[in-house]
Chain A
């Protein structure tokens, strides 16, 4: 378990060191931050290697119980657990974190707040590692919330811009909204299972009543939907792009948003016991998948295109979970982490060179930035799902699982599986279309910006090249039966029921169907060809302008933000204003009024204090005479 402790503590210590010394010694910030991520990556390679080589001995798994916190009822255990799933996700986190740290050195060169930025990235890495390795729901929640806070601070890195402030608050509030449900989900599940231990809850999944499991999983799903930016809580992610681009790569594409998916995969037997939740997940995933892909079609900001594509791809993972294949979901999570981190870093390289986020100001960068062009092309091909790039295999695994659940028996109702299958295929065409638009508008035609563009510095180039390798090749890991499914060895539904943590049971292979493969390639090429045809007619124009009347709807992402503004933001503002009015006009006025009134009444008494001793004495004498007369007459 030592590598696990190191993986969690190294970035944490780097963060602490960064916070305390970064301001005074800015030159140490870079080595501290980079070494924290590097040590964490090296540490998690060891359990990952063990998980990969576990082969003959069955499943790899190890856990440690560090402490137990008595609470009066259910104790909170500081438990850590490492298995194939945790180790592989941790490697993805480590690789992306290290790439982002190295990349940030160049991207944020000369930024006065670099040291606190790097420290927050380190803290985020530690929190994500904690989430990945936690075996107790409340310990996981700690990491989960720390990630949320880091995300808030990093989105608000440029806090002098009102945009960044607003986005940071929005991200924080929206994800917190989901976390309320998440917390109660943890309580429900923990109390029902009799322990907050994840491995215990997973083991108990079959014995709990269906109502309890449904309620618990639906509540947990709230947190997942918030963190993984699914409809209806997806609104924060596109706005989170106000943060620096490496942050978008690390937090808002590759790791934190995947935490929701990871959590479901971790608790998968519990979710499998609740078909209602799975159906809800399928519907949410379908709405998000297609909606976000359509919205990506008309965005002007390159990062917003990628943000919507992240939302859409996360929906694929959720869909895979809904149709009963956690392996496919985690597979897509890993490939997506690779190619989306690559895409964001490449987009950052483009933005850094051109000095704008807007697609219409780019163009013609192919010759000036060959490395960025090549790596981004790999990333975009993977995102579209073109063979042989990684996205193709993972997306096919998702669609294969949906096909299997639709045609044969699955954990979810077959209508939901059909929905996932059809929407998943449709989305591929839309994905291909927006990817093509992004690619053409960024790299082809004549340069539209006046400045002389050149390739980025090596610290920014190398992470791109390193990430391009898994983005291109990671897909093959899913091919062999003894490879990825076996390394992950997740609990899935098999004919005959659920097999929670059965070491003897062989992992189920990924199903890649011939029909879905052909269909998806045809659809992807169709989307590509359609955009290409539109673009060739007028290369300098935005192809999405051809959508005409539909375009505003897509650009505004179907006015969900406006709707929320009307439904929630304005009423809350109104209520807040009335609370302020009550505070000022009623409570404050009462307090201030009692003060001024007391002063005014006291003014009457003040008149008597004339300062003339003889007046006082006259009053005194009058009083004495009155008393004397009173005594005489009354007795």
Chain B
């Protein structure tokens, strides 16, 4: 099997994942998109491992690592989403903008000293 086909599939999957992460609003769908990206990477790793006939099977070992990490990540991620939902009754990412910069203070308050000098 030529290398091109699994790579094309991987790229497609990754692009799908990127689109999902950047464009979807639902947090769970975003997490699923992240999984898509991870699996695209897994596909690449396995494909290259076979193609290069690596004696140590490093690609496949990495894939196992990534799957493990992905499992841990989805567990943590879902827990966060669950908590967010419990607190706010929504998992829309657009609504979660607590860390945005608020409006700047318009001017420094005038101290009593400055007032005395001005008069």
B87 at interface (Cβ–Cβ under 8 A)? Answer: no
Q: Which residues of B contact A580 (CB under 8 A)?
A: 117
Tell me if A630 counts as interface (CB < 8 A to partner B): no
The minimal Cβ–Cβ distance linking B116 to chain A, given in whole angstroms, is 12
Bits for B34-62, please: 1 = Cβ < 8 Å to A, else 0: 00000000000000000000000000000
Is A603's CB under 8 angstroms from B104's CB?
A: yes
Write the A560-591 contact mask toward B (1 if CB under 8 angstroms, else 0): 00000000000000000000100010000000
List the B side residues contacting A73 at CB < 8 Å.
none
Q: Is B108 within 8 A of A614, CB to CB?
A: no
Chain B contacts of A599 at CB under 8 A? Answer: 104-105
Whether the pair A609, B117 counts as a contact (CB closer than 8 A) is: no
- When the two chains form the complex, which single residue of B22, B101, B108 contacts A595, counting CB atoms closer than 8 Å? B108
Inter-chain contacts of A618 with B (CB < 8 A): 22
On chain A, the residues within 8 Å of B107 by CB distance are 596
A621 within 8 A of B: yes
Binds A, one of B3-11, B73-81, B90-98: B90-98
B86 contacts the other chain (CB 8 A): no
Cross-chain contact B98 with A621 (CB below 8 angstroms): no
| Contact bitstring B11-29, A, C-beta under 8 A = 1, else 0 | 0000000100111000000
- Tally B residues with Cβ within 8 Å of A: 18
Q: Which of B22, B105, B117 contacts A614 (CB 8 A)?
A: B22
Which of A596, A610, A621 is the one whose CB lies under 8 Å from B97? Answer: A610
Residues of A with C-beta under 8 A to B100 = 609-612
Nearest-Cβ distance from residue B26 to partner chain A, whole angstroms? 12
Determine the chain A residues whose CB is within 8 A of the CB of B108 once the complex forms: 592, 595-596
A618's closest neighbor in chain B, by CB? Answer: B22
Is the C-beta of B99 less than 8 angstroms from some C-beta in chain A? yes
The answer on a CB contact under 8 Å between A611 and B22 is no
Q: Are B104's CB and A617's CB within 8 A?
A: no
- B55 CB to closest chain A CB (Å) equals 31
Q: How far is the CB of B45 from chain A (nearest CB, A)?
A: 19
**Chain A residue with Cβ nearest B105:** A599
Chain B residues whose C-beta falls within 8 Å of the C-beta of A617 in the assembled complex? 21-22
Chain B hits for A609, CB < 8 A: 99-101
Q: What's the Cα separation between A191 and B92 when bound, in Å? A: 89
CA distance in complex: A609, B21 (Å): 19
In the assembled complex, the CB of A578 is this many whole angstroms from the nearest CB of chain B, namely 15
Knowing A592-B108, A595-B108, say if A613 contacts B96 (CB, 8 Å): yes
Total residue contacts A-B, CB cutoff 8 A: 39
Q: How far is the CB of B77 from chain A (nearest CB, A)?
A: 13
Which A residues lie within 8 Å of B117 (CB)? Answer: 580, 584
Q: Which of A590-635 contact B (CB under 8 A)?
A: 592, 595-596, 599, 602-603, 606, 609-614, 617-618, 621
Which bucket holds chain A's interface residue count?
A: 10 to 19
| Docked CA distance A614–B18 (Å) | 11
Asked whether B99 lies within 8 Å of A614 as measured between CB atoms, the reply is no
Chain B 102-119 near chain A by CB (<8 Å), digits 1 or 0: 001101100000000110
Q: B21 to chain A: which residues have CB within 8 Å?
A: 614, 617
Pairwise interchain contact B104-A612, C-beta atoms closer than 8 A? no
Could you say which residues of chain B place their CB within 8 Å of the CB of A606?
A: 101, 104
Which of the residues B98, B104, B105 comes within 8 Å of A611, measured between beta carbons? B98
B residues near A610, Cβ cutoff 8 Å: 97, 100
Q: Give min CB distance, B19 to chain A, whole Å.
A: 11
Neighbour of B104 across the interface among A584, A592, A602, CB < 8 A = A602
A77 to B22, CA, bound (A): 87
For B101, list chain A residues within 8 Å (CB). Answer: 606, 609, 611
Q: Closest B-chain residue to A607, C-beta based?
A: B101
CA distance A606 to B101 in the complex (A): 6
Question: How many whole Å from A615's CB to the nearest CB in chain B?
Answer: 9
Residues of B contacting A614 in the complex (Cβ-Cβ under 8 angstroms)? 21-23, 93
A592 to B110, CA, bound (A): 11
Closest to A612 in B: B97
CA distance A50 to B98 in the complex (A): 93
Q: Which residues of A contact B98 (CB under 8 A)?
A: 611
Q: How far is the CA of A614 from the CA of B97 in the complex (A)?
A: 11
Beyond A618-B22, A621-B18, is A613–B93 a contact (Cβ under 8 Å)? yes
Report B36 CB to chain A, min CB distance, Å.
15
Residue in A595, A611, A621 with the greatest tally of chain B CB atoms within 10 Å: A611
Residue in A closest to B24 when the chains form the complex, CB atoms: A614
User: Is there contact, CB below 8 Å, between A621 and B104?
Assistant: no
* A614–B19 CA distance with the chains assembled, in angstroms: 11
24 contacts between A and B (CB under 8 A): A584-B117, A592-B108, A596-B107, A599-B105, A603-B104, A606-B101, A609-B99, A609-B100, A609-B101, A610-B100, A611-B96, A611-B97, A611-B99, A611-B100, A611-B101, A612-B94, A613-B93, A613-B96, A614-B21, A614-B22, A617-B21, A617-B22, A618-B22, A621-B18
Closest 10 CB pairs of A and B: A611-B100, A611-B97, A609-B101, A606-B101, A611-B99, A618-B22, A610-B100, A614-B22, A609-B100, A612-B97
Chain B interface (Cβ < 8 Å from any Cβ of A): 18, 21-23, 93-94, 96-101, 104-105, 107-108, 117-118
